[in-house]
Amino acid sequence: IKGLSQWNLLLLEYPPEMRSTVSWSDLISNNRAEHIQVENFRALKTKGAGSSTNYLVNEEHGLSHLYFFKRELNHLVGSPVEAAWKSVLDLVEATEENPVVIEILRGLRDDPEVFNLISDYKYNPPEITKRVVIPLDSEDPLLPQIRSYLEAVGTEAQKKSTQDDLLDYAGYNDGEEVNVSRRNVATSVVAELLGVGHLSAYSRSAVIHDANTGELIRGNLMERALGHEIEDLIASGDIAGKSHTLGLFAPSPAGEDGQTEPAYLNGMDAVTMKFMLQTNSLQILDALCAQQDRHLGNAFYQTDEEGRLSGIQAIDNDASFGLNTDITISYSGSGTGFRTIATRYDETSDKVSLNLSYVDYDLAQAIIQLSPSVARFSLMGLIEEREVEAFLNRLSQIKELLSEALGNFESKKAADEELDPSKGDVIFLKESELDESNLAMKEKMFRDMTISHLTASFYINKIGNQFINSQKSIFNAVMTNINQDLWDEIKSSYGIDSSNFSLKHRLKYAQ
């Protein structure tokens, strides 16, 4: 009786016309959500635009500090232009006071020629505004505004197309509608369950009650990530460039380019052991959650008092929790260089091995001990049942890998046998017990991360910047004394554009 009474009370939070379709999962999701009262939702300050619009809510709305609120988004796979128009028009219709603007935009939306132009030029939105004929005089004051909205549609179409690619990679088909907003919350839930909530910017479900309209706006709250965007850590005109990898700082084979010194030691000074272990932990979390879009910009970076990278926190997890269950597959085409955490022995084998040589002991234990029933209940109302099943499948595989590796680690430690990552041994470390003064261990970790599997482009910029600073005086001296004829010969021989002179060439000539 108490249960039925509580059910009815929860149902009262929904409009009458919706109550007959509300499920138990819906009720759980609604009951877990943060409920926020605002006077006027449209008057909230915003950051970003289109589907990336974040609304700022803070203490005056009953919260402890500043949060970003993002409206719930259902993505229709395979229709980027239609979805882009809907996203932009929804926003315009909610905020634009001039009905003429809305009418013109609706006409452009329904024009097949405009549709084709947006589809063709979505990767160059400004070109769309040049090619689309807008039914206004060239001096009409509304023309710049319409062009701005039209460019926004092109930008949204580009984002939607990218989202399509990610969802296709994640196992979804054209025509499916996928809720992408709640995946941020689901990632936070899993991270918290495993005791690594610090690896992902905290996110939770929320419902905003708009007193002005009576509307309930569903979405998710996100805390600002800790640390800095990678671009903020890179000086303007950084010559390392985003395309380089930590391989440049690893020791070259004897005789190659005449380099025999262990150059990786320079890069090692720019990171801490804690940071390296956290990047491995994030890769395990990403593999569990089937994150398809981890790249340089989808994380924030913390630094210590010496300027070294000391921590990482993931953001933008809305491309996670796909249907893939193969933990040996690589990330999507974003070119991140993140390693897969496991490798299949051969194409015909079901047997896989763990790629990571250094794993957080506490995280491994938390994964091994995580009950499927607890995980299922925690994710209920956030992702679909088939996505929960895919998660549990990945969880089972990763549990097995970690259990086997941890068993080997503990038995060898008990027998006082040497652990050798080059022979497949995995070393388990506690983040709280890392000793930065243990340079031998730090060097081993760095060599593993730079040479084995991982290009780690997400922090090469910081390392590259620090490394090249130590070479700058040599470089400047060498370059200053090269006459124009020799310089032209060098450029011709290597086919390089001096306006984009790569780190590899600069280091070579500096030496």
Sequence-ordered list of residues with C-beta below 8 angstroms from that of 509, at least 6 positions apart, any chain = 475, 478, 479, 482, 490
Confidence of residue 197 (pLDDT cuts 50, 70, 90): very high
Q: With 90 as the cut, is the pLDDT of residue 192 above it?
A: yes
β-pair partners for 209: 37, 216
Q: Are residues 67 and 81 in the same domain?
A: no
In terms of average pLDDT, the best of 396-400, 452-456, 462-466 is 396-400
Query: In this predicted structure, which of 63-67, 155-159, 236-240, 270-274 has the lowest mean pLDDT?
Result: 236-240
426 within a domain of the structure (yes/no): yes
- Mean pLDDT in residue range 180-202: 94
Q: Between 26 and 74, where is the model more confident?
A: 74
Q: With 90 as the cut, is the pLDDT of residue 309 above it?
A: no
Q: With 50 as the cut, is the pLDDT of residue 266 above it?
A: no
- Mean pLDDT in residue range 109-125: 93
**What is the reported pLDDT for 327?**
82
**What is the reported pLDDT for 479?**
53
Q: Which of 322, 360, 318, 328 is nearest to 198 (CA)?
A: 360
Q: Are residues 385 and 319 in the same domain?
A: yes
Measured distance CA(342)–CA(330) in Å, rounded: 10
Q: With 80 as the cut, is the pLDDT of residue 153 above it?
A: yes
Q: With 90 as the cut, is the pLDDT of residue 473 above it?
A: no
Q: With 50 as the cut, is the pLDDT of residue 85 above it?
A: yes
Confidence of residue 462 (pLDDT cuts 50, 70, 90): very low
Which helix (H) or strand (E) segment holds residue 382: the answer is none
- Mean pLDDT in residue range 235-240: 32
**What is the reported pLDDT for 169?**
83
Greatest Cα-to-Cα distance within the chain, rounded to the nearest angstrom:
92
Gyration radius of the chain over CA positions? 26
Sequence-ordered list of residues with C-beta below 8 angstroms from that of 417, at least 6 positions apart, any chain = none
Helices 112-121 and 99-109, interaxial angle, to 10°?
80
Three-state secondary structure readout of 284-344:
HHHHHHCCCCCCCCCEEEEECCCCCEEEEEECCCCCCCCCCCCCCCCCCCCCCCCCCCEEE
- Mean pLDDT in residue range 163-191: 91
If you search the block for the tokens 């269950």, which residue do you land on?
325
2 within a domain of the structure (yes/no): no
Query: In this predicted structure, which of 206-220, 259-273, 494-508 has the lowest mean pLDDT?
Result: 494-508
For 363, phi and psi rounded to 5 degrees? Answer: -65, -45
For the chain, give the percent of residues with pLDDT over 70: 69
Three-state secondary structure readout of 14-44:
CCHHHHHHCCHHHHHHHHHCEEEEECCHHHC
**What is the reported pLDDT for 29?**
67
Q: With 60 as the cut, is the pLDDT of residue 241 above it?
A: no
Sequence-ordered list of residues with C-beta below 8 angstroms from that of 431, at least 6 positions apart, any chain = 274, 277, 278, 360, 362
Q: Which of 181, 5, 212, 4 is nearest to 95 (CA)?
A: 212
Sequence-ordered list of residues with C-beta below 8 angstroms from that of 169, at least 6 positions apart, any chain = 292, 322, 324, 332, 333
14 within a domain of the structure (yes/no): no
Q: Are residues 406 and 426 in the same domain?
A: yes
What is the span of the domain harbouring residue 31? 23-73+180-223
Confidence of residue 508 (pLDDT cuts 50, 70, 90): low
Helices 143-169 and 99-109, interaxial angle, to 10°?
50
Helices 112-121 and 143-169, interaxial angle, to 10°?
60
11 within a domain of the structure (yes/no): no
Confidence of residue 33 (pLDDT cuts 50, 70, 90): confident
Q: Between 54 and 15, where is the model more confident?
A: 54
Q: Are 326 and 340 in contact (CB under 8 A)?
A: no
Q: With 50 as the cut, is the pLDDT of residue 472 above it?
A: no
Q: With 80 as the cut, is the pLDDT of residue 497 above it?
A: no
User: Hey, is 63 helix, strand or coil?
Assistant: coil
β-pair partners for 70: 220
Q: Are residues 114 and 216 in the same domain?
A: no
User: Hey, is 176 helix, strand or coil?
Assistant: coil
Q: Are residues 266 and 387 in the same domain?
A: yes
Q: Between 338 and 299, where is the model more confident?
A: 299
Instruction: Please say whether the dihedral angle defined by the alpha carbons of residues 49, 54, 58 and 61, taken in this order, is positive or negative.
Output: positive
Domain end, chosen from 157, 191, 223, is at 223
Confidence of residue 256 (pLDDT cuts 50, 70, 90): very low
Q: Are residues 370 and 502 in the same domain?
A: no
Q: Are residues 345 and 256 in the same domain?
A: yes
For 471-499, the DSSP string reads: HHHHHHHHHHTS-HHHHHHHHHHHT--GG
Q: With 60 as the cut, is the pLDDT of residue 414 above it?
A: yes
**What is the reported pLDDT for 254?**
38
**What is the reported pLDDT for 302?**
87
Per the structure block, which two tokens stand in for 95? 């905020």
Q: With 60 as the cut, is the pLDDT of residue 236 above it?
A: no
Q: Are residues 264 and 336 in the same domain?
A: yes
Q: Are residues 152 and 301 in the same domain?
A: no
Q: Is 56 left (phi over 0), alpha (psi -120 to 50) or beta?
A: beta
- Mean pLDDT in residue range 411-421: 93
**What is the reported pLDDT for 246?**
35
In terms of average pLDDT, the best of 123-132, 329-338, 352-361 is 123-132
Q: With 80 as the cut, is the pLDDT of residue 44 above it?
A: yes
Q: Which of 226, 217, 183 is nearest to 203 (CA)?
A: 183
Average pLDDT, the chain: 78
Q: Are 262 and 251 in contact (CB under 8 A)?
A: yes
Q: Which of 333, 497, 354, 511 is nearest to 421 (CA)?
A: 354
Q: Are residues 300 and 411 in the same domain?
A: yes
Q: With 90 as the cut, is the pLDDT of residue 14 above it?
A: no
Q: Are residues 394 and 477 in the same domain?
A: no
115 within a domain of the structure (yes/no): yes
Q: With 70 as the cut, is the pLDDT of residue 203 above it?
A: yes
Per the structure block, which two tokens stand in for 476? 């400047």
- Mean pLDDT in residue range 207-230: 88
If you search the block for the tokens 């981890």, which residue do you land on?
294
Measured distance CA(317)–CA(231) in Å, rounded: 20
- Mean pLDDT in residue range 466-486: 50
**What is the reported pLDDT for 91?**
83
Q: What is the pLDDT of residues 319-352, one digit of tens each?
A: 899 998 888 765 544 444 455 677 665 556 667 7
Q: With 80 as the cut, is the pLDDT of residue 315 above it?
A: yes
Q: With 90 as the cut, is the pLDDT of residue 387 above it?
A: yes
Measured distance CA(409)–CA(432) in Å, rounded: 19
261 within a domain of the structure (yes/no): yes
Query: In this predicted structure, which of 283-292, 379-388, 405-414, 495-504 has the lowest mean pLDDT?
Result: 495-504
Confidence of residue 245 (pLDDT cuts 50, 70, 90): very low
Q: Are residues 313 and 425 in the same domain?
A: yes
Query: In this predicted structure, which of 44-58, 108-122, 449-463 has the lowest mean pLDDT?
Result: 449-463
Proportion of the chain in helix, strand, coil states, percent, rounded to 5? 50, 15, 35
17 within a domain of the structure (yes/no): no
18 within a domain of the structure (yes/no): no
Task: Say what the alpha-carbon torsion angle 105, 108, 114, 119 is, to the nearest 10 degrees.
Answer: 40
Measured distance CA(421)–CA(97) in Å, rounded: 64
* Number of domains within the chain: 4
Three-state secondary structure readout of 96-157:
CCCHHHHHHHHHHHCCHHHHHHHHHHCCCHHHHHHHCCCCCCCCCCCHHHHHHHHHHHHHHH
**What is the reported pLDDT for 306?**
77
Confidence of residue 12 (pLDDT cuts 50, 70, 90): low
